[in-house]
Structure 1
Amino acid sequence: MISELTIQIRVSDFEEGLHWYTTLLQRTPDFIPHNGFAEWQVLPSCWLQVAEGIPSEGSGPIRFGVTSIEEERSRLKSELHMDHFEIYAREEVPAKWATFADPWGNRLGFFENINE
């Protein structure tokens, strides 16, 4: 039985990556066990790890649920100078979503449930 989840993203410049993900998640890491590694508990028993290393190509996206995808797009354009952030929707899907990349090419995104 699976009881927890960790997802690791690698960045080639850890200090820049730490700043970028602190801004994205709007808080400092919950745990920094050693140099070049930080963790945020994004949900109970679900951790996002940012580690110094070679980014993986073609993985993801990892999408985070948000209450307002439009507000998050505005925030990230302002705070992280993100140019590419297009929001998608389909009539038969009860959500809006967007996929973007961090400066190291890791694919991320947000989604907003629109029927809640």
Structure 2
Amino acid sequence: MIYEMTIQVRVADFNRGYKWYETLLKRNADLIPHEGFAEWELVPGCWLQVAGGIPSDGSGPVRLGVTDIESERNRIMSALGVSFFDIHTREEVPVKWAGFTDPWGNRLGFFEYKNINDKEVQIQRMFGSRDAQK
């Protein structure tokens, strides 16, 4: 039985990387078990680990579900200096998605459900209510 998961990205400069991901995720890490390593529980049972080290070539993308993809794109362009990136859609795909990289080359992205009801169902399933995610 699989009940949790972790995803790890590596950053060559841990202190700078920690601050970058702290800004991206809009909060401090949930766990810093030792120097050069931090973890955020993004949703129950799903952890993003940021570790000091050499980024893996060709890994990712790690895509994060957001409630407003355009707003998040604007926020990280302003707060993190991320270059403009396109948001993609296809009629048969239920989400909009976009990709970008962190300063160390880790491939990241966002996705947003196109249908508001689908989005609300997912938020309710994960958090019990929309307010619980804030």
Identify the TM-score tier after normalising by the shorter chain: over 0.9
Q: In the alignment, residue 112 of structure 1 is paired with which amino acid?
A: E
How far is the alpha carbon of 1:48 from its aligned partner?
A: 0.3
What is the Cα-based RMSD across aligned positions, in Å? 0.7
Question: What are the residue-to-residue correspondences of 1:94-109 with 2, within 5 Å?
Answer: 94-109=94-109
How far is the alpha carbon of 1:94 from its aligned partner?
A: 1.5
Aligned residue number for residue 81 of structure 2: 81
RCO greater where, 1 or 2, for CA within 8 Å and sep 6 or more? 1
Q: Structure 1 residue 14 and structure 2 residue 14: aligned?
A: yes
Q: Which portions of structure 1, spanning 4 or more consecutive aligned residues, are displaced by more than 6 angstroms?
A: none
Instruction: Tell me which protein shows more strand as a share of its residues.
Output: 1
Q: Which range moves more in the overlay, 7-16 or 89-98?
A: 89-98
How far is the alpha carbon of 1:115 from its aligned partner?
A: 1.1
Query: Partners of 1:53 and 1:7 in 2: how far apart?
Result: 15
The residue matched to 1:67 in structure 2 has which SS? coil
What whole-Å deviation, never above 9, does each CA across 1:45-92 have from its counterpart, x for those lacking one?
Answer: 110000001100101101000000000011011101111321111111
Query: Partners of 2:44 and 2:111 in 1: how far apart?
Result: 19
Aligned residue number for residue 114 of structure 2: 114
How far is the alpha carbon of 1:42 from its aligned partner?
A: 0.2
What whole-Å deviation, never above 9, does each CA across 1:10-63 have from its counterpart, x for those lacking one?
Answer: 000000000000000000000001110000000101100000011001011010
Query: Partners of 1:82 and 1:60 in 2: how far apart?
Result: 17
Q: Which range moves more in the overlay, 39-48 or 75-84?
A: 75-84
Percent sequence identity is 65
Which stretches in structure 2 are left out of the alignment for 5+ residues?
117-134
Aligned residue number for residue 92 of structure 1: 92
